[in-house]
Amino acid sequence: MAEATTISKTTVEKLAQQLRVDSIRSTTEAGSGHPTSCMSAADLMAVLMTQYLKFDFKDPHFENNDRLIFSKGHAAPLLYSMYKAAGAVTDEELMSLRKIGSRLEGHPVPEILPFVDVATGSLGQGLSMGVGMAMSAKYLDKLSYKVWVLLGDSEMAEGSVWEAMQLASHYKLDNMVAILDMNRLGQRGETALGWNSGVYAQRARAFGWNTIEINGHNFDEITKAYDAAIATLTKPTMIIAKTDKGHGLALTENKDNWHGKPLSKEECAEAVKELGANDIRIDVAKPQSNGKSDKVKSAVTNKFVCPDFKGEVATREAYGEALKALGDAYEDVVVLDAETSNSTFADKFGKAHMDRFFEIYIAEQAMVGVACGFSTRGKAAYASSFAAFLARAYDFIRMGAVSRSNIKLCGSHAGCSIGQDGPSQMALEDLASIRAVINSTVLYPSDAYSTAHLINSMRTLKGVSYIRTTRAKTPLLYSAKEEFPIGGSKVLKKSKEDQVTLIGAGITLHECLKAYEELKSAGINARVIDLYSIKPVDVETLRKAAQETGKFVTVEDHAQEGGIGDAVLGAFASTEKERAPQAPLMLKLAVREVPGSGTPEELMDLAGITAKHIVAAAKSLV
């Protein structure tokens, strides 16, 4: 059991009031924010930071610091007020809340603020990110830190919360404590359950959690709950705290229509008088410095050795082989899968490195959230599923970018070329959606060797990276010695007499190569480009091809919007710094109608992305 810091109850009570006052003051100064959402949880956080939280604010990246996640990210002013009480930010900085250039944004964001691990504010995400951190501590790093997650009762309606709940129980994360701020009032009125803590507790117990129901404004009950949570073994704990939104202030306490509204300057002045103007500083307890002493070291080489491939190999299978080789080379590689590992071939890694493979089951939102959590702990987290199902986790992917998470995603079984399974399984939008994520990298290899090398490159990429793999076996195009720089491409066929450029990736590149032979026999010279890097795209090679051939045919097993064709056109967009050359005359071959079931060959032919259609398009241009 944790040893409580010796701080008087009076000091804790005054600190709680100070946290309320500072939340009010900062949001009033900003002219926006959610002070009442902060006020309900102030007592819970005052007890936590004075007696239980272990965090070295002078070394925020220390490996054994506790992790504190505000899943209810709109309560950020409360978190920042805690940082002020800990001496990590000044009052002057606190008053810069939500202003341009301030580290204290409207919702917590890491990187600019080193005490924050993940960006929150899109509700329902903090718990799964915390699961990733807790799993890293318990199973990989053998560290003793706790993961504390503050949840709002409104976000308990999100299915992603319950995905994380079942995972935390399955992996017996007794180093995780969720604190549910049950303040009854949401954005537009009462939540679905109001103050019915019994239902929350019943549901949490059904998911395998230790549950504790308390009055969230009773300091003795809060202390006892934290003690019990820390003493609980083999299961996570949820503390369900009944609180008042806007607690402590007659103007706002348990009053509707105060969500997301700051107090006026006059109301703020009255609130400071009513609550008291304290200026307490807390020396937050530091964690033990030897938390990593019993970490199990894996046998690694720190050198990636490309697997050897023969014959035709599906790029999804090459993904699995590359992951296994990557795991042999680097200790930081962790792989997650959403119960598709025998199709994505991530199971090849799992069989070789069981200690670093985590089954997330069919819970794609939680999978991406957990990957973000692992990323904060310095892990190269690869997460895979069918590309179509990653669409469920899109908001997590988007927030992963806001978090500056370095996560690596693999979507297999993409496009109509998967065949008979039909359109529910065919990702036709994935390239567009992930290209739209800021600072993302999107890769689409066409053979086993390019897949393996790109998987290796992804390990050190910053931000969200995505690789699209193909179900069908395809011929080898390259060797183990070939290099595939991010942002590059490969020119597979080229001559001085080229009249048209054919551009494909994945399955369509092989159709482009077939079309090249047919065009050659018809006396038409074509250039063929393997656009394995969709984002960033190889601007130099594309512009040179446009200058030399003047005509492009892009071919993709993807919807016509936002995929390969649009990525190519983007290479000819002018910027403030340069005037781009004129774009070539171009035809985009893509999937334009919802496919049905059929053989891969039939469906690709119906979509107009096979060799005969490429030949016809090229001839129409030439």
| pLDDT tens digits for range 416-428 | 999 999 999 999 9
Residue 324 has pLDDT above 80, yes or no: yes
| 253 and 104 within one domain | yes
pTM above 0.85, yes or no: yes
pLDDT score of 137: 98
Q: Which of 233, 178, 236 is nearest to 210 (CA)?
A: 236
289 located within any domain: no
**In b/e form, how buried is each residue of 523-550, taking b as 16+ CB within 10 angstroms?**
ebbbbbbbbbbbbebbbebbbebbebbb
Question: 156, 126 in Cβ contact below 8 A?
Answer: no
pLDDT score of 6: 62
| 43 and 122 within one domain | yes
CATH code of 602's domain? 3.40.50.920
Q: Which residues contact 170 (CB under 8 A, 6 or more apart)?
A: 208
Q: How far is CA 447 from CA 450, 473, 486, in A?
A: 6, 9, 16
| 495 and 456 within one domain | no
Residue 4 has pLDDT above 50, yes or no: no
| 234 and 186 within one domain | yes
514 located within any domain: yes
307 located within any domain: no
Domain-ending residue, one of 433, 450, 474: 474
Asked if the peptide bond before residue 475 counts as cis, ω within 30 degrees of 0, the response is no
**The residue count for the chain:** 622
- Element (H or E) spanning 381, and its range? strand 380-386
Question: 455, 467 in Cβ contact below 8 A?
Answer: yes
pLDDT score of 296: 52
Q: What are the structure tokens assigned to 516, written together?
A: 């090249």
pLDDT score of 288: 86
Pick the catalytic residue: 163, 221, 317, 364?
Answer: 364
Give the pLDDT band (50/70/90) at residue 279.
very high
Q: 582 exposed, middle or buried (CB, 10 Å; 0-12, 13-18, 19+)?
A: exposed
Domain-ending residue, one of 275, 293, 324: 275
pLDDT score of 128: 98
Q: Which of 592, 485, 598 is nearest to 533 (CA)?
A: 485
pLDDT score of 293: 46
Q: Which residues contact 504 (CB under 8 A, 6 or more apart)?
A: 446, 510, 511, 512, 528, 529, 530, 531, 554, 555, 556, 564
Question: 331, 299 in Cβ contact below 8 A?
Answer: no
pLDDT score of 577: 86
480 located within any domain: no
| 535 and 437 within one domain | no
435 located within any domain: yes
pLDDT score of 7: 82
Say how far apart CA 45 and CA 247 lie, in whole Å.
Answer: 14
Could you tell me which residue, 291 or 578, shows the higher pLDDT?
Answer: 578
Question: 414, 439 in Cβ contact below 8 A?
Answer: no
Query: How many other C-beta atoms lie within 10 A of the C-beta of residue 485?
Result: 12
Print the domain residue range for 399: 313-474
| pLDDT tens digits for range 348-379 | 999 999 999 999 999 999 999 999 999 999 99
Residue 289 has pLDDT above 90, yes or no: no
pLDDT score of 299: 67
pLDDT score of 1: 36
Q: How far is CA 246 from CA 71, 192, 197, 217, in A?
A: 18, 19, 19, 12
| 455 and 385 within one domain | yes
Give the pLDDT band (50/70/90) at residue 586.
very high
pLDDT score of 378: 96
Could you tell me which residue, 577 or 230, shows the higher pLDDT?
Answer: 230
- The mean pLDDT of 255-267, rounded to a whole number, is 96
pLDDT score of 297: 61
* pLDDT over 70, % of the chain: 97
Residue 595 has pLDDT above 70, yes or no: yes
Question: 26, 229 in Cβ contact below 8 A?
Answer: no
- The mean pLDDT of 383-394, rounded to a whole number, is 97
Domain-ending residue, one of 407, 441, 474: 474
| 454 and 586 within one domain | no
| 528 and 596 within one domain | yes
- Element (H or E) spanning 83, and its range? helix 76-85
| pLDDT tens digits for range 114-138 | 999 999 999 999 999 999 999 999 9
Residue 183 has pLDDT above 90, yes or no: yes
- The mean pLDDT of 222-249, rounded to a whole number, is 98
Residue 210 has pLDDT above 50, yes or no: yes
286 located within any domain: no
Beta strands in 398-459 (DSSP E): 407-412, 441-443
Lowest mean pLDDT among 300-309, 328-337, 398-407, 510-519: 300-309
CATH code of 415's domain? 3.40.50.970
483 located within any domain: no
| 444 and 500 within one domain | no
When divided into structural domains, the chain yields a total of 3
| pLDDT tens digits for range 390-409 | 999 999 999 999 999 999 99
Question: 319, 384 in Cβ contact below 8 A?
Answer: yes
Q: Which of 573, 319, 301, 596 is nearest to 445 (CA)?
A: 319
8 located within any domain: no
Say how far apart CA 402 and CA 330 lie, in whole Å.
Answer: 27
| 534 and 470 within one domain | no
Q: Is 364 a catalytic residue?
A: yes
| 531 and 465 within one domain | no
Query: How many other C-beta atoms lie within 10 A of the C-beta of residue 350?
Result: 21
| 176 and 75 within one domain | yes
